[in-house]
């Protein structure tokens, strides 16, 4: 019994360690959506070993290890299928009781004339059921001369999100979604010369069809104001290029996501706060900017380009003390991969 327990825990540590090492070295990319449904194969192998090996020494530990992995795979697979296993649709529910009022301009369009991606549209027409037609939305708010500071808050749930480029308006967003739409809320304060913009998903189920995220948002901000940005993404993909924006504060909260973030050199100091669950985060920082990173979390694979370890969880670039512009990053992760690039 004692020997079996050692094989189980030792085997689990080796398996997870090897997977994580290969993943951090970019040598392994597993599509778990395809692998997890076949967890019963582990039970079949365990049964075959019991029949073939009988009571031979060591066989009990191997069988226990296979059963443990099968149970873990089955739980994860069923959790991801979330209530509806029909036609390979996964449903994730977000319930937001806020009664925010909408300001500015927004428009919904059931047609997909502005999507610009004919292949995606053909796929949707072929595979989406009746009632799953894409909802296109456009949101914007006019830029006003008195606005010097602005807040942008994204409550994304699950989906694919991008933010880059400049707009003459305060902000613009083009969204595509199924079942749920997005909601925009913008307010201004002439006393403080400021504005606040929120873009979030409405209540309902977020769908992933055949492994593809059906909710997308493309966002542009005005380059003139100094921005405080708060990004919340539960799951999916984020591609955020802030290199042309004056970003004073950036907060990123994500659960299971692949995040690419590019920072610029428009501010003397920028503070970045990242909280990630099971995620892959790439952070690009200009070489001319001094960077300091404080990292919390024990199971984080990291690649620190140009940063040297100063102390426990503390990293800095060689030019940090002398640089006229600095980026301070606080990173807190669970089981994540953090990749720092200099450009």
Domain identity same for 66 and 120? no
Greater model confidence, 279 or 30: 279
Nearest alpha-carbon partner for 199 in 219, 214, 227: 219
Domain identity same for 138 and 286? yes
Grade residue 131 by pLDDT with cuts at 50, 70 and 90.
very low
Q: How far is the C-alpha of 169 from the C-alpha of 147, rounded, in Å? A: 11
**pLDDT for 33:** 60
Is the pLDDT at 329 greater than 60, yes or no?
yes
Structural domain for 70, as ranges: 2-81
Q: How many domains would you assign to the chain?
A: 2
Residue 86: inside a domain = no
Grade residue 215 by pLDDT with cuts at 50, 70 and 90.
confident
Helices assigned H by DSSP within 58-169: 59-81, 118-127
The tokens of 292 are what? 């300091």
Is the pLDDT at 137 greater than 80, yes or no?
yes
Is the pLDDT at 192 greater than 50, yes or no?
yes
Is the pLDDT at 149 greater than 80, yes or no?
yes
Domain identity same for 98 and 125? yes
Q: What is the pTM of this model?
A: 0.63
**pLDDT for 100:** 39
Q: How confident is the model over 8-25, as pLDDT tens digits?
A: 566 666 766 666 666 666
Domain identity same for 64 and 146? no
Calculate ∠ Cα 106-228-281, nearest 5°: 95
Domain identity same for 75 and 119? no
**pLDDT for 140:** 94
Q: Is 174 left (phi over 0), alpha (psi -120 to 50) or beta?
A: beta
């Amino acid at each position: 019994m004692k020997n079996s327990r050692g094989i189980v825990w030792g085997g689990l540590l080796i398996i997870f360690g090897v997977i994580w090492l290969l993943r951090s070295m970019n040598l392994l990319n597993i599509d778990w959506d395809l692998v997890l449904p076949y967890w019963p194969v582990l039970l079949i192998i365990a049964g075959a070993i019991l029949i073939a090996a009988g009571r031979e020494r060591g066989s009990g530990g191997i069988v226990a290890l296979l059963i443990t992995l099968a149970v873990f795979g089955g739980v994860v697979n069923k959790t991801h299928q979330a209530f509806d296993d029909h036609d390979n649709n996964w449903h994730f529910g977000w319930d937001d009781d806020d009664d925010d009022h909408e300001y500015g301009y927004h428009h919904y369009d059931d047609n997909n004339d502005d999507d610009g991606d004919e292949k995606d549209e053909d796929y949707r027409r072929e595979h989406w059921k009746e009632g799953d037609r894409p909802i296109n939305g456009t949101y914007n708010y006019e830029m006003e001369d008195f606005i010097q500071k602005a807040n942008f808050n994204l409550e994304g749930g699950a989906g694919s999100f991008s933010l880059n480029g400049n707009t003459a308006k305060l902000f613009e967003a083009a969204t595509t979604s199924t079942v749920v739409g997005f909601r925009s809320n913008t307010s201004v304060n002439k006393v403080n010369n400021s504005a606040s913009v929120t873009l979030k998903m409405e209540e309902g189920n977020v769908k992933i069809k055949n492994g593809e995220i059906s909710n997308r948002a493309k966002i542009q901000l005005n380059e003139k104001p100094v921005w405080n940005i708060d990004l919340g993404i539960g799951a999916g993909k984020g591609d955020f290029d802030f290199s042309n924006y004056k970003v004073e504060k950036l907060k990123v909260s994500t659960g299971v996501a692949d995040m690419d973030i590019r920072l610029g050199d428009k501010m003397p100091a920028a503070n970045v706060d990242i909280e990630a669950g099971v995620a892959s985060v790439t952070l690009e920082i200009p070489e001319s900017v001094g960077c300091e990173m404080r990292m919390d979390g024990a199971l984080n694979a990291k690649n620190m380009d140009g940063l040297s370890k100063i102390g426990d969880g503390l990293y800095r670039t060689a030019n940090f003390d002398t640089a006229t512009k600095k980026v301070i990053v606080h990173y807190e992760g669970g089981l994540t991969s953090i990749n720092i690039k200099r450009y």
